[in-house]
Chains A and B, each alone.
Chain A
Amino acid sequence: MKVLVTVKEVAEVEEDFQLDGLHVAEQYLEYDLNEWDEYAVEEAVQIAEENDDVEVVSVTIGPERSEETIRMALAKGVDRAVRVWDDALDDVDLLDVGAKTRLLSAVVEEEDPDLVLTGVQANDDSFGATGVSLASAIDFEWAAVVNALDLDVDGGVANVRRELEGGVEELTEVDLPAVLTIQTGINEPRYASLRGIRQAQSKEIKPMALSDLGLDDAVVESDLVLTDVYEPETESDAVYFEGDAGEQAAELATVLREKGVGAQ
């Protein structure tokens, strides 16, 4: 069995930052593996540990810089990685869900996985859509926001829990092959061991350009145009307590006491 995990290197913006055109200026960005994908990676690695003959392959659409992040997934037990990038992607302001779906579909065609795991959302542009869109494109069944997974490989189904709003979980049977979008908390992502980190150095990260996937530049063209990026006006009308921590705490204590907090 082959499990394909989509992983994205996402940027987090520092507290103080500046914009440069339609982007946050590079020096204010810190890169890391998307939080949701960490859980998807762990889930895939656990499936490999619990079943015989499972290969776990990760795929990312990302520039060369992302290899460092991708290697962390390899260090945690992913067998090998595919990295899709192309000059045609360099100038794309917004890689929308449709474009990502076309690229990842081509990778699925190459790899022919039985199960695809993605994160629920990428924490930078937060479309929350790539996994389900991909499922539809490759004609896999799917389930979104999965916080428990019990795979019945012989029976050809995945028994999942979907985490709905308000503490309600939906129990669903999903026919395989499927795409599942993984919610945080589904497992406890492991730390990479030193041995894992060492082994990851020799694992393959295969770069693939559009032509390697049999695609042309048109696949990254989007009908969505990013027209503006700005810092939102604060809507805050909070009363701020100033001074050092002691003074701030004293003022807050006064307010809290007025509200009856701490009165024994």
Chain B
Amino acid sequence: MSDVLAITEHRRGELRDVSFELVTAGSDLVGETGGDLHLAVIGGDVDAFADELALDGVDTIHTVPEGDEFNHDVYVQAIAALYEELDPTYVLMGNTVNGLDYAPAVAEQLDIPLVTDAIGLSNDGSLVVTREMYASKVESTVEVDADRAAVTIRSAEWEPTEAAGEPAVEAFDFELDESRVRSRVTGFEEVGGGDVDIADADVLVSVGRGIEEEENLELVQDLADTLGATLSSSRPIVDNGWLPKDRQVGQSGKVVTPKVYLAIGISGAVQHVAGMKGAETIVAVNTDPDAPIFDIADYGIVGDLFDVVPELIEQFS
């Protein structure tokens, strides 16, 4: 028997997708080992969130009405108190940006081992976590040789649970130690709003670190112009200041769903793929036949972009 405590996430009044994915991962786990699945909802309109989270597989939802938005000091304290009360075997959290901000502190305070960014979980006696290393080139399994563990799951790896259920909803009585809240969220800002909205484009020519030098960008700009397409990019191109931030596709950039997405010299890191996997047709040009971008591509060219792109321009000129 092992109980699971899964921590849901919300932002600006809405539950985030990972909350529903955590329900799936959590109920799979208790399905294997027996035990209860507890959810925690911390901050915001907890009652409305609890209604939405009344899902199949959930035994109890614990609501902690503390603050409107995420604050890691509040989360860590609330989770530590819940942990003490419920004594779960596993604490499941999302490997989101906020997950990066509180999950490691939870594990450290509870003095339990932490495995992050899980893409698979199984348990036949002990917990085994599958995760990636070396920019997705290698996968590994990690066995947890302890009674308890904290695990964060990668977004969009588990299907969200949608089927309704009838969990108990309990308000968790919890006294926040204000003196230990030492950071304050003062606002949110939407970035971008430049002249081009890559989310509107039908065809995107998207360039990554394979382009090597800023002056080589001209080549892909030429291709975009020839095809009547819009130029976008992966993160390093924007980090280098070669293209403005509003051209970045991915987790922290824009989510795009064009008819055609040409990924040129882009490896296909999970944070990039999060922004473009919904494209109708994905074409990848990459020298590395094992680049993860090919896993989601419809068409692939294993080749050097400096050979392929000029030929492609030629084809359309």
Residues of A within 8 A of B (CB): 11-13, 15, 17, 19, 22, 24, 94, 96-98, 101, 120, 123-133, 135-137, 141-145, 161-175, 181, 184-185, 188, 222-232, 234-236, 238-241, 244-246, 248-250, 252-253, 255-256, 259-262, 264
Contact = CB atoms under 8 A, between A and B. Distances in A.
B117 to A, nearest CB: 6
Nearest to B134: A13
Given A173-B186, A225-B145, A262-B227, A248 B134 contact: no
Interface size class, chain B: 35 or more
B143 A224 contact: yes
B299 A255 contact: yes
Contacts of A167: 190-192, 245, 252-254
B295 A234 contact: yes
Given A223-B145, A226-B141, A240-B302, 18 more contacts: A11-B134, A13-B134, A101-B108, A128-B95, A128-B116, A129-B103, A132-B101, A224-B113, A226-B140, A235-B295, A235-B296, A238-B294, A238-B297, A238-B298, A241-B299, A248-B311, A260-B259, A261-B228
Contacts of A125: 133
Given A163-B252, A167-B253, A245-B303, A231 B137 contact: yes
A172 B183 contact: yes
Contacts of B109: 136
Contact of A224 (B100, B135, B145, B203): B145
Contacts of B185: 170-172
A230 B131 CA distance: 11
A181 B146 CA distance: 28
A224 B144 CA distance: 5
Q: Interface centre among A169, A181, A261, by most B CB within 10 Å? A: A261
Given A13-B137, A252-B299, A264-B228, A188 B241 contact: yes
Contacts of A250: 311, 315
Q: Is the interface of A mostly helix, strand, loop or mixed?
A: mixed
Interface in B81-120: 95-98, 100-105, 107-109, 113-117
B290 interface: yes
A137 B298 CA distance: 47
Contact of B312 (A97, A172, A240, A252): A252
Interface of B: 11, 72-73, 76, 95-98, 100-105, 107-109, 113-117, 128, 132-146, 149, 182-192, 203, 226-229, 235-236, 238-241, 245, 251-255, 259-260, 281, 283-284, 287-290, 294-304, 307-308, 311-312, 314-316
A226 B203 contact: no
Q: 10 closest Cβ contacts across the A-B interface?
A: A249-B311, A245-B307, A185-B239, A223-B146, A253-B315, A133-B104, A144-B101, A132-B104, A129-B104, A136-B105
Nearest to B135: A123
A236 B295 contact: yes
B138 to A, nearest CB: 6
Given A24-B138, A170-B185, A234 B290 contact: yes
Given A173-B186, A241-B301, A128 B100 contact: yes
A153 B217 CA distance: 41
Nearest to A184: B239
A89 to B, nearest CB: 18
Contacts of A19: 138
Contacts of B297: 236, 238
A238 B113 contact: no
A226 B315 contact: no
Contact of B203 (A127, A135, A261): A261
Contact of B115 (A224, A239, A244): A224
A169 B189 contact: yes
